[in-house]
Amino acid sequence: MKNFSWVRPKTLAEASASLKQNGAALSGGVELLCLLKEHLLEPDRVVDLKSVSGMREVDGSNALKIGALATMDAIANSSSIRTNFRCVAEAAESVGSPQIRNVGTLGGNLCQRPRCWYFRDYHVKCLKKGGMACYAVAGDNEYHAILGGGPCHIVHPSDLAPALIACDADVLTTERRMKLSEFFHLPDSDVRTENVLNSGELVTGVEAPATMKGWKSAYYKAKERPSFDWALSSCAVNLKVSGTTVSDCRIVLGGVAPIPWRSKEAEDFLKGKSVTGDVALRAGEAAVATARPMSNNAFKVRLTANVVRIAILQAMGMPAE
């Protein structure tokens, strides 16, 4: 990899200034090391955010508040988050291995780059790296998008993003505050990036309103390996239940689209109904009604319908089998 200098800023302002000078941010370092080794990043300096105080808050006792430097392990093991924002704790717990969760951070998880093998191959200049084609279209695409794809067919790899969006979270940066759902964008907006961060702009944390803490939620993830792996398909469910009836809900998919994919079709179907196994199954089918699988990933359609079904039933405390 390219030689670089090491910068340890004391403030966010110093960190932002360094990043504007061809810098790369280091929080946990899991993703950064991969990007450096794969020559997807060749910075002049690595900016160690761990030297900046703060951004480690983990609190779900009322409104959800998580700093960008909070680790997956701290989020997964927060009793207040598990009690009041269960899907967020379950999403954090699903990330990587124990070693990765000990160092991987919220900010890194939200800002990680796609795992597409064409994008990650140094020798391939795909559309996302300034080339002329998305090679997944006519190539190996078993792990690629079935929803929202085109002209690039990546899937967003974050586990925390769907869960946080299901909790109506805002993301806070050094420049602004916005809905986390607005932080990510589809490839037809800008194929070279996955989010709206400007040069030097840093994620500092996320917050979700206290009004969501009484909802029933769950996160379910299907993956090839039971240990460390990214999602083939995942689903975060958050249900507001009145008696036995779902009065409101948020259903967000991961691993199937270039952005965390909120399924309005599944939500619309589920609202006003009492949850049963059949209702959960039909909500899952609604979630993939507009899916457009590629040549090798049609399996994701049925898989995702079942992932949604299981997540709904788990949120309600009902058996999924």
- Domain containing 275 — which CATH number? 3.30.390.50
Q: How far apart are CA 229 and CA 121, in angstroms?
A: 19
The answer to whether the beta carbons of residues 49 and 202 sit under 8 Å apart is yes
| Upstream peptide bond of 151 is cis (omega within 30 degrees of 0) | yes
192 and 307 together in one domain: no
* Residues 79-95, mean pLDDT to the nearest whole number: 98
Q: How far is CA 320 from the centre of its chain?
A: 24
The reply to whether 148 falls in a domain is no
Its pTM surpasses 0.95: yes
Q: How far apart are CA 41 and CA 22, in angstroms?
A: 10
Q: Is the pLDDT of residue 102 over 80?
A: yes
201 and 64 together in one domain: yes
74 and 26 together in one domain: no
249 and 307 together in one domain: yes
139-187: pLDDT as tens digits:
999 999 999 999 999 999 999 999 999 999 999 999 999 999 999 999 9
> 83 CB contacts (<8 Å, ≥6 apart)?
60
pLDDT the model gives residue 124: 96
CATH of the domain at 42: 3.30.43
The reply to whether 137 falls in a domain is no
303 and 223 together in one domain: yes
The reply to whether 167 falls in a domain is yes
pLDDT the model gives residue 202: 98
166 and 290 together in one domain: no
298 and 241 together in one domain: yes
Q: How far apart are CA 301 and CA 232, in angstroms?
A: 11
The answer to whether the beta carbons of residues 232 and 255 sit under 8 Å apart is yes
Percent of the chain with pLDDT over 90: 96
The reply to whether 41 falls in a domain is yes
Using alpha carbons, list the distances in angstroms from residue 92 to 130, 163, 193, 225: 33, 9, 24, 17
pLDDT the model gives residue 159: 98
> 17 CB contacts (<8 Å, ≥6 apart)?
9, 200
159 and 266 together in one domain: no
The reply to whether 136 falls in a domain is no
Using alpha carbons, list the distances in angstroms from residue 125 to 31, 41, 128, 134: 20, 14, 8, 9
The reply to whether 131 falls in a domain is no
18 and 162 together in one domain: no
Q: Write out 166-209 in H/E/C secondary structure.
A: HCCCEEEECCCEEEHHHHECCCCCCCCCCECCCCCCCEEEEEEC
The reply to whether 290 falls in a domain is yes
Of the pLDDT bands very low, low, confident and very high (cuts 50, 70, 90), residue 226 is confident
83 and 168 together in one domain: yes
CATH of the domain at 100: 3.30.465.10
pLDDT the model gives residue 35: 94
173 and 246 together in one domain: no
The reply to whether 178 falls in a domain is yes
- Mean pLDDT of all residues belonging to the chain: 96
266-299: pLDDT as tens digits:
999 999 999 999 999 999 999 999 999 999 999 9
Range of the domain at 298: 215-315
Q: Is the pLDDT of residue 59 over 80?
A: yes
pLDDT the model gives residue 196: 98
* Residues 289-317, mean pLDDT to the nearest whole number: 98
pLDDT the model gives residue 72: 98
How many domains is the chain built from? 3
The answer to whether the beta carbons of residues 75 and 106 sit under 8 Å apart is yes
Of the pLDDT bands very low, low, confident and very high (cuts 50, 70, 90), residue 228 is confident
The answer to whether the beta carbons of residues 239 and 272 sit under 8 Å apart is no
pLDDT the model gives residue 321: 73
pLDDT the model gives residue 320: 87
186 and 66 together in one domain: yes
